[in-house]
Structure 1
Amino acid sequence: MDYKETLLMPKTKFPMRGNLPNKEPVRRKEWEEADLYQKGQQRTEGRPLFILHDGPPYANGDLHIGHALNKILKDFITRYKSMAGYHAPYVPGWDTHGLPIETALTKKKKVDRKKLTIAEFRQKCAEYAMKQVDNQREQFIELGVRGDWDNPYLTLTKDYEAAQIRVFGEMAKKGYIYKGLKPVYWSPSSESALAEAEIEYHDKRSPSIYVAFDVTDGKGLLDGGEKFVIWTTTPWTIPANLGINLHPEFDYVVVQVNDEKFVVAEELLSAVAEELDWENPEVVKTFKGKEADRIVTKHPFYDRDSLIMLGEHVTTDAGTGCVHTAPGHGEDDFYVSREYGIEALCPVDEKGVFTDEAPGYEGMFYDTANKAITEKLEEVGALLKLKFITHSYPHDWRTKKPTIFRATSQWFASIKDFRQDILDEIKRINWYPNWGETRLYNMVRDREDWCISRQRTWGVPIPVFYGEDNQPIITDETIEHVSTLFAEHGSNIWFEWDAKELLPEGFTSEHSPNGKFSKEVDIMDVWFDSGSSHEAVLVGRDDHRRPADVYLEGSDQYRGWFNSSLSTAVAVTGKAPYENIISHGFTLDGDGRKMSKSLGNVIQPSKVLKQLGADILRLWVSSVDYQADVRISDDILKQVSETYRKIRNTFRFMLANIADFDPAKNRVQDADLEEVDRYMLHRLQNVITSVKESYDNYEFSPIYHQIHNFCAVDLSSFYLDFAKDILYIEAADNHRRRSIQTVYYDILTSLVQLLTPIIPHTAEEVWEYIPGTEAEYVQLTDIPEPKTVFENKDALEKWDHFMKVRDDVLKALEEARNEKVIGKSLEAKITIVAKDAQTKAVLEQIPYLHQLLIVSEADVAENVEGASEYRYVHVKVEKHPGEKCERCWVASETVGDDPDHPELCTRCADIVKEHYTTA
């Protein structure tokens, strides 16, 4: 007879190849048609609420790999929480205002703003933003991210803008909002003020100059004729110079160099002398900075004074210790000068072009003027040294162009007024990684004011009116009225209606006795937009609450959304809007380089999805230590794909071997399981415990590695391997066979559930093939809870020790293979001699030893010649003298004993006779 027909070989239609790029879209369409997100929400209704609040990505352009990393991490968390006892709605959001959309319209779409009213242009911005939202939404869904995609939050919606106005109004009510003149980061390329969060640093080549200022009134300390030496990398600010700052406690020296006398900080003398090629400078006088207070010097080329002032901000890190002071172009300069009654001079307009307040340079772009001003300094004999340096310099994060400091009248939120409350909240919050606390704490500790006004069009208007005396009007009544109008009509009405129409009916103010009003033309910083989401979303939606459990964004958001959200929430409520902050690093290429088109090392999510599938990208996200910068490349994705194949093949093997298993009929109760099967069930519980702990701690790479190792080591190399001799050979209802199938079933269902948050497409595919599952979708089930399998620790210790002994035996078999003693391990007969009493006891208690070690015979002896020594045992490997059974492939001396089946061992002959021989 054909003995193959008597074997219970694995059977499954579950495909070996994932074919993810083709199958995933079909599965996602099925999920959409089944409204799986809402089904999941209905299933968990009434459970404790868990809120991961989505930080809104900017609605412009296709997704990059950083977007994918961010959204997939969030999906891991919300999917897990919904399977771990929580009600975890996920509402995605978008940041839809700001300069890039304006720029995209005017440059890419060739929209002529001059031919449109402000309201018309804003309408086009809104339409463009919505198209970008639709594009990005589709791409996020393709990543397998589950959420309320039909009802996202958008910063341009009426309700959102109305909530933002309420946040502004509450801050104004508490006195935190004011308008004032001070230097702020200004982007000539954007023609707008910027907040610190909108600044990034890039290298810039700048002129480095040393300039001499002649003393005209030494105030009795200096004789006159001395020259204070300043150093700057911004020659263009010299026309705005109104003074020089010294540190009150530093020692300063007058040095004689040839026939001239110069003043510098004593600590920097040697460095300055070397830089300016001074030979043997002679110190003729030493004084404290505070002694020089209010000494008068002359501006190098304008007929005006430059006053010596005292400032604690002066350092000896670089320069001369005498700091060039232009209060219109520096924050420290501004504040110190104000104490001396000196008003800021800012001779540069919004485009970065000099005005007539800088005679001789009118109409010049500030950076272009560097050369002309340096030449003027040289002409008048004030230039001591010019060279060029490359240094880190602030740039506009949108346009990537350099910024300047420029004193203008802006709206500010006074962070210092409630700074301590913010710092207290930072201490209370949980941080992942923990250095995030220090990073944000230091940012807030050093922060004074937040410039919240922007000289742009596409954004939420600052809801301030002005009276006839130009005094700003912000009252509870006006704020509430504007908020209500925006909720009904949207913020475009601010640009369509007159001020009178925007004010409450019959509104009067002491600032406008004649009833004439105007309105603010600036809009709010986009960080104020997104930073108000705790009010618009967490409070504004029925299925949310404030504070959220988690905010999760890139590490750049410590200065961005984490910061602005915290500032507005503490200002309004006194509390942070989140309990936990999680940050992730940036995505780099395989060599650790930043991705750029010029290097050709950009990995596009869409390309990965087309070539490998979303689950491979998601598995990559789970494999990396995301809290640091992460690397991705084709080679790295190839490695991840290998891991995926290993996991998938493990699932396929188990599916194939439970094809005839009905959990309702064939399950063996835990207490009746074979001991080795109970041991593997115990190992599974360890995996469940560890994986759940990792999910709870927002750590995903341990999950990736533990499940991969469990599949590769515990299962493939041990449990799945030796079990073939039972699953294929024994009769269908053999107890040992059903015992293994029971544990296979539990391992398979548990692993699929544990991996569902990470690779949901594959998890659902496997789930469809598992017999007897009650839930239609695995994502609508709960993560398994670990259970105690071994009440008796002795049994557990016995099997743990056996696995160590097994390692010794595997080494012996490998060496025998290398020495050509055997080929496959089933050709072997092994004799084992224990080296200690514990090992001996274990070996004597382990049944079916030869099966577990996948050899044809395994004897335990007191002694044997020719054995090799290992850690726990001596092992002798010999080629088995018996013949190979044609059915089980085990070498046995009983092959031929049964006359009806001479090709079989007696074990197989008995099985065939009982179950497969017909009368």
Structure 2
Amino acid sequence: MLRLLCRSSAGSQTLVRWARRSQRGGGLLLHGARSCTSSRRCHGTGSGEVNGQPAENGSGNALYRDSVLLPKTEFPMKLTGQKLLDRELQIQQECGFADLYSWQRERKAKNKFCLHDGPPYANGDPHVGHALNKILKDIRNRFEMLRGRQVHYIPGWDCHGLPIELKALGDLGTSGLSPLQIRQKAREFAEGAIARQKAAFQRWGVMADWDQCYYSFDGTYEAAQLKVFQEMHSKGLIYQDYKPVFWSPSSGTALAEAELEYNPEHVSRAIYATFPLVTLPPKIALQEGMESVSVLVWTTQPWTIPANQAVCYMPNAQYSVVKRADNSEKFLVATERTASIAALLGTDLQTVGTFTGSLLEGGICKHPTIPDKQVPLLPANHVTMVKGTGLVHTAPAHGMEDYSVASQFKLPVECMVDEDGTFNELAGPELQKLSVMTEGNDKVISMLKQCNALLKEEQCVHSYPYDWRTKQPVVIRPSKQWFINTESLKDKAKEALQKVRVLPESARSSLLTMLDRRTYWCISRQRSWGVPIPVFYHKESGEALINKYTVSHIAQLFKEKGSDCWWELPIETLLPPEVLKKVPGAASDYVRGEDVLDIWFDSGASWAAVLEAESDSRADVYVEGKDQIGGWFQSSLLTSVAVRNKAPYKSLVVHGFAVSEKGEKMSKSVGNVVDPDVVINGGKPAYGADVLRWWVAESNVFSEVQIGAVYLLATFISPHQGVFKVTDAYSEFDAGRVIRVLQAFITRELSSFYFSIIKDRLYCDAEDSLGRRSCQTVLEEILDGVTRSIAPILPHMAEEVYLHAPGHDSTGWIKSSSVWRRPGLEEAVEGACAIRDSFLSSIPGKNAARYDLTVAIEPGLLFELMESLQEEPTSTTSQLAELMMAARVNLATKMPRDLDPEALLNHGTFLINLEGGVIREESAYSIAVTPTSAARCPRCRRYTANSADCLCPRCQSVVSQAH
């Protein structure tokens, strides 16, 4: 075991170099299932170094060289290039990485741990975002497995949706292709992406049964999804309606909130437009100066003006009629917006009258661009005073809040925009066929100018929703779609979320905010590649036929044949017999629906397909990036609460995105994309999988995670405290803290301290001596503890350690024993270290081995503790002498009278704290440092010999025993 620790001849550099190599691509790691059955032993060549000093070529040193127990090992100090890559693959093969997941599932375990894998999208090659997510999950899974828990982790893929469909079709488009032809091409594309991603995940050492994954295009998965759909529909949570949705003209489909990206740099042509009051509100009509008043509104979407059906005000706000100083025009505006509007117009505004908004009830305005059309003033709570005029132009067809007002006051919801984003015939001949976001917008502004209704135009930079796939702006337009009533689920979802642990806790508010923003969820999509919504429509009436019998029947067909059967089978087969008997007319009177389900409903139902077999049917944790706050985290919560009244997860971990080392979003056009395959196999140098894993572990995953060449090149304390620190860090998904603890331990406790003081005992004591054997035991425990600590992060390295150290049971977590906690021992060592600091500070830059040290402590607890480390008054081989690294240590209750007058004196105190503070005693000590008169031993190189040509007593005894 000593030889394994000492990859160089000096044990002081062993684990430091080990940790360093892991950062630089050294290529060693562990999967932790069981010790590999390797019979290889470590036989190598030791270097000629003793006690940190190079061996000399003199005859005396050569005479005793073979008697010094220098370390030997086959363990490679450094592997680079192809040798490193070959070694990692060899370790994966030899140590059964592919079988590890199945092995741990079959073993008996009292406790289970379930991490439910959020499905990555099957639309491209693996990237560093995948690496960050999958490795972070794998570190936690390996940690739980080492703790003795049975891990449940089924990798999955999200396989449907528009991006896959578009990439699969390429330049072909959908023209001339049947739904089944489109689906076949999309499936082939998704399967290719899955194969590439899966191979990468395996190469990264991710532990899973890769032959038993879940896929959202699998018939069994689709059937489970339809079961969730059916239960929600039966509860009235899923319904069909004609209402505004986010519509993507570039994709030709409705979108959910989670499919939007908000562009904060979007530029709109914002306008201030006038709506003349043709009927004054009765409660203010009698006030003076109220004639010829126009309501002033502000909007960033002028193209919606033709669809206006009302102007809304806030009932509790104050409003004023103001008069321009330059031309006597009168406007109705919110009182608190008056100063801003005056500044905008560059003129003074004189207040004619002020009143509460509720007094505006009954007012009627003239529509500015449609002759003879009048629109009412209506109260609404969504009106704000942050921008604009405090009066809101309301187009129910093109706004969510506007639609709510229309529902309340029975206003018409007329859609003037087609699916391609152009005005239709309802907008009139001047606007028909014009794109609403470009030339249509321009034309509406021109029309407002012609009728003198445009008061002011300005550019407005603001956040605007874009299609996350095409990166083009979306519009809000009404469409007949299928919806989930999230308003009725919201309170239950919030209540369930309060029982969920969220890391970091700051993400909880974002989760709640996203829930509040969603009053309904549009789940229908106008595409072919997805799970069909199981609905039939009567050819003449258009009435939807959908119930628990039809959905259950179709779910069973999907389970047996896959969802392609929706297009392959005749209506007579798709409709169950019991329904055919009851529906009026024949099956031929119906047509199947053409919409598919939103992919967020696809993935949000994964708990039903993957977790239902588990006893708790909830995952211990979901781990995904922050973009899933409004995506998979939310869709999973809503569907589970709707069906089971509980969240599908006990904990949520929200990590950041992978960005460049400058903190920039990765982009192929910028050239800052880091390919994980290049990191492992093709970089200069090739780093291997463990360095990629080290990057993930070392990063602060709760913020943006940087990666680049600099980042790629870039611990345990006491037996008990270290175990707790490392265990807690892994439990908190803080592998970076694990690394910091281990590095501190290796650097301070081992390299700078323990390895330095034990070298003499390890190399020069008798091979079977108690001191040397006890030292080997400690090193064995250290190596085992550090190996287990780092194994979840660096499985290849840990496995290689155990390949060189057979006999370890590598299935468990870090072992600690109460035997290690000998009463008073820790305080004795701490007191000795305080004295050591005083000693070393007396001889700065000098070799401690050349000095004798006298320690004087008055009788008391500190003296008794030091006596436990050195029973004799003077010694060259005691534990106290070893700790001091001095030639000799004298321990006394007072300084001797014959002290060398040239001795260096120093004094100090040490506070002893025993039994949790029950025993506290501050003790003083004095030290005297003098150059030793002893000669250097030709074998151990310590200054403990009587003369230069003879061995010290210890070495003389060892050599004589050997002969």
The match for 2:27 is none
1:656 is matched with none
1:595 paired residue number = 666
* Cα distance in 2 between the residues matched to 1:624 and 1:294: 61
Match of 1:885 in 2: 937
Q: Which residue of 1 aligns with 2:427?
A: 358
Residues 749-777 of structure 1: per-residue CA shift (max 9 Å, x gap): 2221222211100000000111433x5xx
Corresponding residue for 1:845?
868
Q: Which residue of 2 aligns with 1:651?
A: none
Q: Work out which of the residue numbers 577, 588, 591 in structure 2 matches 1:518.
A: 591
- Is 1:894 aligned with 2:946? yes
Q: Distance in 2 between matches of 1:273 and 1:836?
A: 89
Contact 1:296 1:307 in 2 (8 A): yes
Contact 1:216 1:224 in 2 (8 A): no
In the alignment, is residue 344 of structure 1 matched against residue 391 of structure 2? no
Cα offsets for 1:683-735 (capped at 9, x unmatched): 22332233223333433222211122222211222222211101110121111
Q: Which residue of 2 aligns with 1:531?
A: 604
- Is 1:552 matched with 2:620? no
Is 1:867 the counterpart of 2:890? The answer is no
Q: Is structure 2 residue 714 aligned with structure 1 residue 714?
A: no
SS across alignment from 2:152: coil
Kindly indicate whether residue 460 of structure 2 is the aligned counterpart of residue 407 of structure 1: no
State the SS of the aligned residue for 1:389: strand
Question: For residues 55-94 of structure 1, what are the structure 2 equivalents within 5 Å?
Answer: 55-94=118-157
1:210 aligned partner: 272
1:288 to 356, 377, 387: 356
Q: Could you say what secondary structure the match of 1:50 adopts?
A: strand
- Report what 2:699 is aligned to: 624
Aligned counterparts, 1:170-569, within 5 A: 170-202=231-263, 203-220=265-282, 221-222=284-285, 223-257=290-324, 258-277=327-346, 279-303=347-371, 304-359=373-428, 360-368=430-438, 369-467=440-538, 468-505=540-577, 507-508=579-580, 512-513=584-585, 515=587, 516-539=589-612, 546-569=617-640
Which deviates more from structure 2 when the two are superposed, residues 61-70 or residues 256-265? Answer: 61-70
Cα distance, 1:95–1:866 mapped onto 2, change above 3 Å: same
Classify 1:570/1:895 alpha carbon distance in 2 versus 1 (closer, same or farther; 3 Å).
Answer: same
Per-residue deviation, 1:75: 0.7
Q: Secondary structure at the match of 1:58?
A: coil
1:354 match: secondary structure: coil
Q: Residue by residue, what CA displacement relative to the aligned partner does 1:263-322 show, whole Å, maximum 9, x if unpaired?
A: 110011001111122x22111122322222242222222222232211111011111001
Note if contact 2:694-2:793 (Cα within 8 Å) is conserved in structure 1.
yes
Q: 1: distance between equivalents of 2:581 and 2:348?
A: 70
Distance of 2:928 and 2:162 partners within structure 1: 77
Residues 879 and 398 of structure 1: is their aligned pair in 2 closer, same or farther, counting only changes over 3 Å? Answer: farther
Question: How has the CA–CA distance of structure 1 residues 792 and 545 changed in structure 2, closer, same or farther, with 3 Å as cutoff?
Answer: closer
Q: Distance in 2 between matches of 1:249 and 1:274?
A: 25
Q: Secondary structure at the match of 1:809?
A: helix
1:51 corresponds to which of 93, 114, 135: 114
Which consecutive residues of structure 2, in runs of 5 or more, have no partner in the other structure? 1-61, 871-877, 911-924
Give the residue type in structure 2 aligned to 1:117: S
Structure 2 distance, partners of 1:593, 1:125, is: 32
State the alpha-carbon separation in 1 of the partners of residues 850 and 670 from structure 2.
55
Q: CA deviation at 1:879?
A: 4.3
Deviation digits for residues 80-126 of structure 1, max 9, x if unmatched? 2222122113210000001110111233xx43432321111101111
Equivalent position amino acid for 2:250 in 1:
S
Are positions 1:96 and 2:159 aligned together? yes
Q: Which residue of 1 aligns with 2:650?
A: 579
8 Å contact from structure 2 (residues 657, 705) kept in 1: yes
Task: Give the 3 Å change call, closer, same or farther, for CA 762–18 of structure 1 in structure 2.
Answer: farther
- In the alignment, the residues of structure 1 paired with residue 625 and residue 436 of structure 2 have an alpha-carbon distance, to the nearest angstrom, of 34
Alignment deviations for residues 229-252 of structure 1 (CA, whole Å, 9 cap, x no partner): 111111121222222111112111
For the pair 1:570 / 2:608, whether they are aligned, the reply is no
Assess, with a 3 A threshold, how the Cα gap between structure 1 residues 261 and 34 changes in structure 2: closer, same or farther. closer
Q: Name the amino acid aligned to 1:84.
A: R
Q: Distance between the aligned counterparts of 1:567 and 1:325, measured in 2?
A: 30
Spell out, residue by residue over 1:596-621, the C-alpha distance to the aligned partner (whole angstroms, 9 max, x if none). Answer: 33444333222222322221221222
In the alignment, what sits opposite 1:118? 179
What residue in structure 2 maps to residue 106 of structure 1? 169
TM-score under structure 1 length normalisation? 0.89
Amino acid at match of 1:801: G
SS state of the match for residue 238, structure 1?
Answer: helix
Amino acid at match of 1:121: I
Q: 1:431 touches 1:580 (CA, 8 Å); kept in 2?
A: yes
1:551 Cα deviation after fit = 1.1
* Residue pair 2:580, 2:586 contacting (<8 A) in 1 also: no
Is the Cα–Cα contact under 8 Å of residues 187 and 194 in structure 1 kept in the other structure? yes
Q: Which has the higher contact order (CA 8 A, sep 6+)?
A: 2
Aligned-partner Cα distance in 1 for 2:97–2:507: 41
Amino acid across the alignment from 1:365: S
Distance 1:810 1:377, change over 3 A: farther
| Partner amino acid, structure 1, of 2:934 | G
Distance in 2, Cα, partners of 1:481 & 1:683: 63
Structure 2: distance between partners of 1:22 and 1:812: 52
Report Cα offsets for 1:573-615 as digits up to 9, x if no partner: 1221111212212223334333333444333222222322221
One of 35, 43, 50 as aligned partner of 2:99: 35
1:637 to 712, 737, 741: 712
1:143-172 Cα shifts (integer Å, max 9, x gaps): 110101111100000100111111101100
Q: Distance in 2 between matches of 1:793 and 1:102?
A: 69
Secondary structure of the corresponding residue to residue 151 of structure 2: coil
Distance 2:930 2:421 in 1: 88
- The one-letter code matched in structure 1 to 2:275 is F
CA change 1:170–1:850 in 2 (3 A) is same
Report how many residues are paired: 853
- Where 2:427 maps in the other structure, the secondary structure is coil
**Equivalent residue of 1:507, what SS?**
helix
Gaps of 5+ in 1: 640-646, 648-679, 897-901
How far apart, CA to CA, are the structure 2 residues paired with 1:760 and 1:573? Answer: 38
Match of 1:671 in 2: none
Letter in 1 for 2:190: A
Q: Which amino acid aligns with 1:705?
A: R
**Structure 2 SS opposite 1:60:** coil
Deviation of 1:799 after TM superposition, in Å, equals 2.0
Residues 686 and 786 in structure 1, CA contact (< 8 A), matched pair in contact too = no
Any idea what the Cα deviations from partners look like across 1:9-52, whole Å, max 9, x if unmatched? 0011111114443421222234558633322322x245433211
With over 3 angstroms needed to count, the CA separation of the structure-2 counterparts of 1:909 and 1:714, relative to structure 1, is same
Answer yes or no: is the 8 Å Cα contact 1:354–1:366 preserved in 2: yes
